[in-house]
Structure 1
Amino acid sequence: MRQILGILAMLLAGFAAVAPASAEIKGDAVRIGVLNDQSGPYADLGGPGSVVAAQMAIDDFGGSVLGKPIKLLVADHQNKADVGLSIARQWYGPDHVDMIIDFTNSAIALAVQALAKEQDKLAIFTSASSSDLTGPACTPTGIAWTHNNWSNAVAPIRALMKQGYDSYFFLTADYAFGKSLEADATAEITRLGGAVKGSVRHPLNTADFSSFLLQAQGSGAKVVMLANAGADLIGSLKQAGEFGISPKQLVTAPVVYLSDVNSMGLKEAQGLLLMQSWYWDTDDKTRAWAKRYFAKMNRMPNDSHAGVYSAITHYLKAIQKAGTADTDPVVAAMKATPVEDVFTAHGEIQSNNKLVFDRLLMRVKKPEESKYPWDYLEKVATVPAAEAFLAPEKTGCPMSK
């Protein structure tokens, strides 16, 4: 009888050891929301592709964590801050979403980051790139995963300045992302002894850039820098060619996605110097993942799409490690664990909640240099993490003081 009681006690002790971890998941599931532009100017850089990448991460993890299913929600914020904030409030509240990811729009990302802190929920930014997210506006519950404006601007500007391109004019998207990008780029140009000849700001989703480009042309700057992205970048770059701005002035852009190059074509995009967080054709590992993605989307992934996959995978591993989906212990587990996956071999989340990793300075190939479909980019240099991102104590983030 004593032997039987001893066995029962051991079984109960074992059950008690594993039960709390499963019980820590509140509700019937772990819920992840992809909030981005599904149909507008930023749909290619995030959009449905981010949803596919998110589902791939969930499926590869096995579809459940701590015994509870992982559910994916999707919404289109239409690049309207009030719409995005309303969706996030519904998700974090009645819908019990644990984490929201992607965003594509920095103004919406900044608004949701404040809400996430208030609600003690997690937000992960894979395509919103305002440096303020991990700078003055940083919070314990917001993590920036891929690029940011400082990182996107600094390495290309350094390379251009070395080539004698020392005067700039900015054509800037008139909202948080564009303003942040212009500010970061201007600071580096000034630090290196260059000059900013002026700037002009355009509304999001502009069709006609003629008046803005005429101001850029009249500035006499050696470089016209397009501080915009997505459809705005594609439209302004194409119209700059039609106006004959280049080759008299170099037209370049710090924020260029693979999907942008595909939309423009190599003839239009050739020669652009840009930063990438990840490129599908880097090695066998990236090519294998990209092939799986291509089978679902019929197009190659951006670095932001790979970032969604990486961030969700790391997030789910952190839940497993923490034994709960509660925000504070999950963030602590994410920060305590190096990021080693298809996105990066050695990523680390800094004290300001910015993931840092080696980045790629790349050049868009000439049409005759491309050997096969989606062979668009050539590596110029690998930029080590310490040079690719601002040290946390220099970002203005209160958490890093």
Structure 2
Amino acid sequence: MTHLKITAAAAMLACTTLAAQATGISDDKVKIGVLTDMSGQYADSGGKGSVEAAKMAIEDFGGKVQGKPIELVFADHQNKADIGGTKARQWWDAEGVDMIMDLNNSAIAGAVFTLAKERNKVAISTGALSTGLTNEFCAPTTVHYTVDSYSLGKSAVESIMAQGKKDWFILAVDYAYGKVTAATVTDFVKESGGKVLGTVYHPFNASDFSSFMMQAQASKAQVVALANATQDTVNSIKTAREFGMTRNITFVPQLIYINDAHAMGLELGQGLTFATAFYWDRNDESRAWSKKYQARMKKMPSMNQASVYSAVTQYLKAIDAAGTDEGVAVTNQLKKMKINDVFSQNGYVREDGRMVHDMFLAQMKSPKESKGAWDYYKILDTIPGDKAFQPLSKSTCSLVTKK
């Protein structure tokens, strides 16, 4: 009998201790780490702009949460998973970082999500595209915030197919991203009753796209999907325009940031149709915030940078509501919230960590249609988040309860 009383008392003490650990702010401060590409091919859509967006969110929140100061640190992952993983471990194990974000490289995001699960820390990826982050890498403290290859592909393919354009050709970069994206686009085209007439892969940073465009042109496709990114996308479009292909073929890049549109220019990019999660000139709220960002960075924000601002803001709101910065408690609070702000429309975080929100079908304007600098897009359609993102019925995340 005495033994049972002691055991019960010990159990009550353990529960009390756990509850105490899950309340309040650890280390008397909230520390956020932006782990991003500061010097490589994704630096323009993330990098210093992501750091600045995080600073803006902290400033607009008042610099404190639950009466405790908010601190920001940042580092360059150099697009190397070992460097990104080492920095994440250092931040979490030795430097008191509570949340790591941006992670604009899928391999690095996957490594950091794994560490987040082990350490009960929050990781929010705004920059990676792999659907694996809400499938095999999902965890109780991780969130995939902006877009993924599924939402970008599905939103664009279904919208173009609705215009009656059913014959497609795919030009993809020859590494994991290109192959996964090409397979995703193929599935969506076939599911919508269309045909993929051919797929060709090009080397990363290819110097000449002529032979690839000749194959696309010979296929007689109505639509060419570009499963590449950054300079490869720009060079693909340059070659297509030189061949006169853009006059009667719809080109659909699977990933365009406004930074790419700016580098490309409207003369070259006019008519390109693609899915995006954000456009600075979409409404009064997005315009007001983007102009503040532009005043600091001398350019308009990418969808990644706008989502960094949103994610930091919502994370701090979740801490404030939960009364703690403990990982599971904060993430559970995020999953209870509706997210409507400068970035997100009709947003919410699902049980698999996917932040679901409206997507937009955009088209680059002609030079005549543009009213000035950064006036690049026409928004053709809004795709509700529940239709844009992978449904939970297809999820392989261990946190999802199958019905």
Short-chain TM bin: 0.7 to 0.9
**TM-score normalised by length of structure 2:** 0.87
Q: Structure 1 residues 328 and 205, CA, compared in 2 at 3 Å: closer, same or farther?
A: farther
Asked whether the equivalents of residues 42 and 231 of structure 1 are also in contact (C-alpha less than 8 Å), the reply is no
Q: 1:98 to 1:224 in 2, by over 3 A?
A: same
Whether the 8 Å contact between 2:270 and 2:367 is mirrored in structure 1 is yes
Q: Which residue of 2 aligns with 1:43?
A: 43
TM-score by length of 1: 0.88
Match in the other structure for 2:257: 257
Q: State the distance in 2 between where 1:205 and 1:30 align.
A: 40
Q: How far did 1:210 drift?
A: 4.6
Please tell me whether the aligned partners of residues 89 and 115 of structure 2 are also in contact (alpha carbons under 8 angstroms).
yes
SS at match of 1:366: coil
Question: Quick check: 1:128–1:177 contact (8 Å CA) kept in 2?
Answer: no
Deviation at 1:202, TM superposition (A): 4.2
CA contact (8 A) 1:362 1:378 kept: yes
How far does residue 139 in structure 1 lie from its aligned partner after superposition? 2.0
Distance of aligned partners of 1:237 and 1:395 in 2 relative to their CA distance in 1, 3 Å threshold: farther
Shift in Å, 1:236: 2.7
Determine what percentage of the aligned residue pairs are the same residue: 46
**1:129-182 CA-partner distances (Å, limit 9, x unpaired):** 112211343222221111121111112212322334323332223444333322
Aligned counterparts of 1:82 and 1:64: Cα–Cα separation in 2: 33
SS of corresponding position for 1:340: coil
2:368 aligned partner: 368
Matches within 5 A, 1:49-198: 49-198=49-198
SS in 2 for 1:93: helix
Q: CA deviation at 1:226?
A: 1.1
Deviates more, 1:331-340 or 1:162-171: 162-171
> How far does residue 343 in structure 1 lie from its aligned partner after superposition?
1.8
Q: How does 1:265-276 map to 2 (within 5 A)?
A: 265-276=265-276
Q: Distance in 1 between matches of 2:271 and 2:201?
A: 25
**Distance (whole Å) between structure 2 residues aligned to residue 93 and residue 145 of structure 1:** 24
Q: Specify the alignment match of 1:14 in structure 2.
A: none
Q: Which amino acid aligns with 1:273?
A: T
CA contact (8 A) 1:275 1:362 kept: yes
Residue-by-residue CA offset, 1:238-259 (whole Å, 9 max, x unaligned)? 2333355444643321211111
Q: Matched residue of 1:89: which SS? A: helix
Structure 1 residues without counterparts, runs of 5 or longer: 1-19
User: 1:334: which partner in 2?
Assistant: 334
Change (3 A) 1:107 1:235: farther
Give the letter aligned to residue 144 of structure 1.
Answer: H
Q: Aligned to 2:224, what secondary structure does the other structure show?
A: strand
Say which is worse superposed, 387-396 or 70-79, in terms of deviation. 387-396
- Equivalent residues of 1:130, 1:181 under 8 A apart: no
Say if 2:66 and 2:323, in contact at 8 Å, map to a contact too. yes
Q: Structure 2: which amino acid aligns with 1:132? A: G
Farther off after superposition, 79-88 or 240-249 = 240-249
When structure 1 is superposed on structure 2, of 67-76 and 290-299 the one drifting more is 67-76
Distance 1:219 1:397 in 2: 39
Please state whether the residue corresponding to 2:27 is helix, strand or coil.
coil
Alignment of 1:280-295 (within 5 A): 280-295=280-295
Deviation for aligned residue 1:218? 5.0
Instruction: Give, as a single letter, the amino acid of the residue that structure 2 aligns with 1:267.
Output: E
1:203 to partner: Cα distance = 4.9
The aligned counterpart of 2:234 is: 234
After superposition, give the CA deviation of every residue in 1:53-103 in whole Å (9 maximum; x if it has no partner): 010001111112233322212112222222222222222222222111112
1:205 to partner: Cα distance: 4.4
CA RMSD of the aligned region, Å?
2.3
Match of 1:9 in 2: none
Q: What SS does structure 2 have at the residue aligned with 1:367? A: coil
> Are the counterparts in 2 of residues 273 and 363 from structure 1 also a CA contact under 8 Å?
yes
Letter in 2 for 1:309: Y
Task: State the shift of 1:30 in Å.
Answer: 1.7
Secondary structure of 2:382's partner? Answer: strand
Deviation, structure 1 residue 234: 2.1
Give the residue type in structure 2 aligned to 1:106. Answer: S
On the 8 A contact 1:127/1:146 being kept in 2, the answer is yes
Cα deviation, residue 229, structure 1: 2.0
Provide, for residues 24-65 of structure 1, a one-character-per-residue CA deviation record: whole Å limited to 9, x for no partner. Answer: 322253221111211221111112111110100011111122
Q: Quick one: structure 1 residues 163 and 336, their matched pair in 2 at CA, closer, same or farther if it must change by over 3 Å?
A: closer
Q: Is the 8 A contact 1:253 1:273 kept in 2?
A: yes
Give the letter aligned to residue 232 of structure 1.
D
